Chain A
């Protein structure tokens, strides 16, 4: 079974704090993704990475950055958290390449910024 593990299920942070969300996958997948999930808006892609040290902006990268120093780990960073970043954050990974695009998701991190 593919395992995508997010380090926290729930986080509460103050406005202006630097926040790190960690994600680890154990299946040697090439691709990793960060989405945020909001009611009525579905899932929106923040950043993705197709290789170590590589990153690409998704649809809503503003206010976020990412780090991928090792293949199995993909971190999402909120440099200065704001209340509009309160959301459910989902990490996912996929093997990569044609027809290997099924994404496996973590359990999610519900972040509240107060």
Chain B
């Protein structure tokens, strides 16, 4: 069974400080990892995926297979980063049709 763990329900940092949102996973197949974000009053949307290896809005996430982690990082937080962040996993063994497994989410608050 696949599982995604986000240990922090709430993370509060000051503007300009570094941010790290933790995500650990367990799986029994060939996973792909994602970070999704939901800003206030907006729909849930993809932030980044590990196979793209790209930086979106200054965020990066590196897949560490040894530690089974996919932490989301940003060197300098901005107030507009305040949102709910979900780490998610999909197992390709089902052809990608099995749906995303989400963590419980971390509410990130950036204080001015």
Q: Out of B49, B86, B96, B105, which one reaches A96, CB within 8 Å?
A: B96
Any chain A CB within 8 A of the CB of B17? no
Complex contact B86–A48 (CB within 8 A): no
Interface of B is mostly: loop
A48 adjacent to B98 (CB under 8 Å)? yes
Which of A15-23, A63-71, A76-84, A103-111 makes up part of the contact surface?
A103-111
| A11 at interface by CB-CB < 8 Å | no
A106 touches B43 (CB 8 A): yes
Size band of the interface chain B makes with A = 20 to 34
**Alpha-carbon distance A42/B34, docked complex (angstroms):** 15
Instruction: Contact check, A50 vs B97: say whether CB atoms are below 8 A apart.
Output: yes
Interface bits B52-74 vs A (CB < 8 Å: 1, else 0): 00000000000000000000000
Whether the pair A103, B100 counts as a contact (CB closer than 8 A) is yes
Residues of A within 8 A of B95 (CB): 50, 96-98
Residues of A within 8 A of B44 (CB): 43, 90, 92, 105
- Tell me whether A103 and B96 are in contact in the complex, defined as CB-CB below 8 angstroms, given that A40-B104, A42-B104, A43-B102 are known contacts: no
Contact partner of A42 (CB less than 8 A), chosen from B45, B86, B96, B97, is: B86
A43-85: CB near B (< 8 Å → 1, else 0) gives 1110010100000101000000000000000000000000000
Residues of A within 8 A of B51 (CB): 99
Is the beta-carbon distance between A101 and B45 smaller than 8 angstroms? Answer: no
Asked if A96 and B46 sit within 8 Å, CB to CB, the answer is no
Whether B99 and A102, one on each chain, are in contact in the complex, defined by CB atoms closer than 8 angstroms, is no
Which residues in B have some Cβ–Cβ distance to A below 8 Å? Answer: 6, 9, 32, 34, 36, 43-46, 49, 51, 86, 90, 92, 95-105
Q: List 10 A-B contacts (CB under 8 A).
A: A30-B97, A33-B99, A40-B104, A42-B103, A92-B100, A96-B95, A96-B97, A98-B92, A98-B95, A102-B49
